[in-house]
Amino acid sequence: MKLPEDLKYTESHEWVRTEADGTLSVGITDHAQEALGDLVFIELPEVGRAVVAGEAVAVVESVKAASDIYAPVAGEVVAVNSALTEAPEQVNTDAYAHWLYRVKPAAGGDAGKLLDAAGYAKVIGNG
């Protein structure tokens, strides 16, 4: 199970990367893609949508189940990875290489409070 040290994580199985411009890229963890199985559908949010921390903003569906993807922090959706909607299976191939959407954090909404790799490892029972 891959857990890159340079990413932050949520208890709801998103990974979060702080980009150079201060926006946060959000994807699903390797643990999440493995639990879901073959992904066949991804629904991304509208660019410009304001979100609060913990709000369901995207949906991924595998052959067997649908799962909500949550916003790690409050802010505004500034970009979505539309290429994934045509090829959701890429997330199964490498979960950390494919972000789903980017959020520009509102004041105080930085990624510092999220889990680090060791903290997330405990969440999924690998600690």
Partner 1 sequence: MLRQTPLNAVHRACGAKMVDFGGWEMPLSYGSQLEEHHAVRRDAGMFDVSHMLAVDLSGAGARAFLRYALANNVDKLALPGKALYSCLLRPDGGVLDDLIAYFRREDAFRIVVNAATADKDVAWLTALNAQRAAALSLAPRRDLAMIAVQGPNAREKLWQALPGSRAATAALKAFVAGEFGDYFVARTGYTGEDGFELILPGAQVEAVWNALAAAGVRPCGLGARDTLRLEAGMNLYGQDMTEADNPLESGLSWTVDLDSPRDFVGKAALAGAPVARQLVGLLLLGKAGVLRSHQKVLTGQGEGEVTSGTFSPTLGQSIALARIPLGVAPGATVEVEIRDKRLDARVVKPPFVRNGKVLVS
Q: Is there binding between residue 43 and partner 1 (CB under 8 A)?
A: yes
Span from 21-29, 38-46, 100-108, 113-121 in contact with partner 1 (CB under 8 A): 38-46
Among 2, 11, 19, 41, binds partner 1 (CB under 8 A): 41
Q: Candidates 9-17, 37-45, 100-108, 114-122 — which segment interacts with partner 1 by CB under 8 A?
A: 37-45
Strand order in the sheet with 50-51: 8-9, 14-18, 24-28, 101-105, 75-80, 50-51
Phi, psi of 31 (to 5 degrees): -60, -45
Bridging pattern class, strands 50-51 and 56-62: unpaired
- 116 part of the interface to partner 1, by CB under 8 A: no
- Do residues 72 and 52 touch, judged by C-beta distance below 8 A? no
Least distance in Å: CB of 26 to partner 1?
A: 19
Complex with partner 1: residue 28 or 73, whichever CB lies closer: 28
H or E, element range at 56: strand 56-62
61 binds partner 1 (CB under 8 A): yes
